[in-house]
Amino acid sequence: MGIDQSTSSAHFLEQFLEQGFSLRIPESGEFCKGTIVSITDDAVLIDIGAKSEGVLDRREVEQLSPKLQKQFVEGNEITVVVVTPEGRNGEIVLSVERALAESDWLLAEELLASGEPFDCEISGYNKGGLLGRLGSLRAFIPMSHVEPAPSHLETSAYLQEFVGQELPVQVLDVDRTRNRLILTARETMRKLRDQQRQAAFLSIEEGATYTGPIVNIEDFGLFVDLGGVQGLVHLSEVSWQRIDNLHSEFQVGDDIEVFVLQVDSDRERISLSVKRLHADPWEDINQYYRTGQLVEVEITKIVHFGAFARLLGEFELEGLIHISELSDGHIKHPHEVVKPDTQVVARIIRIDTDKRQIGLSLKQVTSNAFKDQDLENLP
């Protein structure tokens, strides 16, 4: 029995039409998941289950991050968006960048609504703040939403430290129409700094020696950074010698070695010392100085009741020349006899080791009371 040719042709046509219409035609702007079929120098062919394979410009792939580019391997599944369902040559034109951007905008809006922090890799900075990314989207963190720079660092140097690092941030503003994504790191940085500060505080040991930069100078002492936590070197612990002006002796940013005197956990205060790293000259002062000795001194400061003078020598201790010991005659002010930064010969008339004080005299330099002692000391 022969086959009805017309029936066979009709059946074939019916199957063809069913198969053809089963391959849907995608719409412009539609998101699709597809499988990479092949990769050429110019394009990436992707099967999205349509009447024909979609075409993705290879140049678009090359503009992606190295991490995303590694996903473009034959057989891998990726998400794309349809740019146009029929290009110049009838092909379906696809875009992965737009698909990534749309996905990232949706994620940004979700993060804005939830307030959930995320880690953002900082790619650069400008005078206004830090630059980063959320997936394929460029993001900006204004300076007003970054923890202020330490006083010893320039703003640019401070911002440079974040480049290449991941910073915990939150989404502050999302504006697709202006392609604007604003992040804030203020709260997350504050929490991170607090955690780092607590960890650093717990690591500081009494009696240990550390080196750190001076971050602030006050009249009463030096503040030193010990790796996330600050300690204070009180003026009285800076030197065994008298220092009247710390600003003239130190600069913010200078590295300084310090000795930890005390760690007060309750008040979170750390007391430091510089002078404890050096021998206490007062412990052996009687081996080097004695009452009646003539010494060379430099006038360091003049006050209404006298002049302070630094003993020139190994220890450079400071003594006081009372106004009554400046001259045999009556004077109204020490300026009449001595000037700052000048060197003179003085006589030690008092050494008080308990009070750590040295009394000096100019008028007794030629006193007959010390004549025999002076003769013994002649070369």
Q: What is the pLDDT of residue 274?
A: 94
Q: What is the pTM (predicted TM-score) of this model?
A: 0.47
pLDDT tens-digit map of 195-239: 777 887 888 888 999 999 999 999 999 999 988 788 999 998 998
Amino acid at 346: A
Predicted confidence (pLDDT) per residue in 46-92, tens digit: 999 887 888 999 998 888 878 788 889 999 998 898 988 887 777 89
pLDDT at 375: 60
End-to-end CA distance of the chain: give it in Å, rounded: 147
Q: Please tell me the predicted confidence (pLDDT) of residue 379.
A: 47
Question: 20 pLDDT band (50/70/90 cuts)?
Answer: very low
CB atoms within 10 A of CB 206: 11
